[in-house]
Amino acid sequence: MTNPGLNIKDQKRRGEWAELRFMARASELGMTVTRPWGDSAHYDLIAESDGCRLRIQVKSSTCRRNNSYFCNLRGANHRYTKDDFDFLAAYIVPLDLWYVIPSDAAISGRDKLCLTPESPKNKYQSYREAWHLLKEKRCSVTANDADLCFRRGCQGRLTQGAAGTSPSAPTKLSS
């Protein structure tokens, strides 16, 4: 069966469809997904697992060049930085394949991300279907008010909130 996304010719509509595909997949994996109102943020969705919220930028690709697929790393008016989102979710439509890549690994000073699924030497191979990374991400030691982790009782956020001090390493909380 051919992926129905291949029939969507308008790029904006196909991008919206890819976001829906991401939301469905993340929901199937037990995450809560929220879409911010408007489209002026530098991320498309927020994925939540165990109270930790992550900013997700979704990109999709249908065009194959040689053995590779390319995703643009630009918004409408600017080039992305690693601070614009926490994870890039790159969807290769013809293969129904996801790459879940941390922003610092995705943003490398280039305008495009090159994904070569058939090559075990591909730089991003370890991020292929790496949905577990969204669940493993937790409050960081360097959390600040701009971070999106608002897990109830998060020691990193609680410590930082007190007198503007730098947080200590977060501790694992029991349920």
In this prediction, the residues of the chain whose per-residue pLDDT falls under 50 are 139-175
pLDDT digits (tens, 9 = 90+) for 60-100: 999 889 999 999 888 777 888 888 999 999 999 999 999 99
58 neighbors 84 (Cβ within 8 angstroms): no
**Domains of the chain, residue spans:** 4-137, 143-175
35 neighbors 44 (Cβ within 8 angstroms): yes
DSSP category for residue 22: H
Instruction: For domain 4-137, give the fold.
Output: Trna Endonuclease; Chain: A, domain 1 (3.40.1350)
Phi-psi region of 79 (alpha: psi -120 to 50; beta: other; left: phi over 0): beta
pLDDT of residue 137: 66
Helix (H) or strand (E) holding 159: helix 155-161
Say if residues 116 and 68 touch (Cβ distance below 8 Å): yes
The pTM assigned to this predicted structure is 0.77
